[in-house]
Amino acid sequence: MKKVFYIIKNILFLPFLVSLYILFPNIKEMGIIGIIFLSLTIIYIIMELLSFLIQEKELKYKELTNIMSSLIYVYLSLIAYRYYNVSTSLIYEIDSLYFKINYLLLSVGMIAIMINICLVIKNLNKRDYQC
């Protein structure tokens, strides 16, 4: 089951990047919240790529991290879908408060995942140095 969550997370990574591309104009308009979200997203992507390159099974197949990452990817894809629909519609106005709240929620989720990854790496290092 752990490998299934890991595979799902890796499959959903590409739609996550496409969603970021779609939302980039909206993120730039959000001011400080957009800057915080972009910087956390860049750090998160770097950590995900590094954890992908690490061959440690305990880090790769961590269920909580993989489930939370998959949920964040899906959540951001849904936000991008809503932004695309609203931006192409002539009737509705883009509600910036809706996107600000969602970017803050995604930032908190990414911080939680990054802390989890750091704790797993810390535990791996402790295990390696014990006799």
Report the C-alpha gap between 83 and 102 in whole angstroms.
12
Report the C-alpha gap between 85 and 108 in whole angstroms.
25
pLDDT at 84 over 80: yes
Average pLDDT, the chain: 85
Task: Please tell me whether the overall predicted TM-score, pTM, comes out greater than 0.95 for this model.
Answer: no
- pLDDT-derived band at 78 (thresholds 50, 70, 90) equals very high
Question: Beta-carbon neighbour count of residue 77 at 10 Å?
Answer: 18
Q: Do 70 and 78 touch, CB atoms closer than 8 A?
A: no
Q: What residues does each domain of the chain span?
A: 2-129
DSSP letters spanning 81-130: HHHHHHHH-SSPPP-HHHHHHHHHHHHHHHHHHHHHHHHHHHHHHHHHH-
48 to 13, 22, 93: CA distances (angstroms)? 10, 20, 35
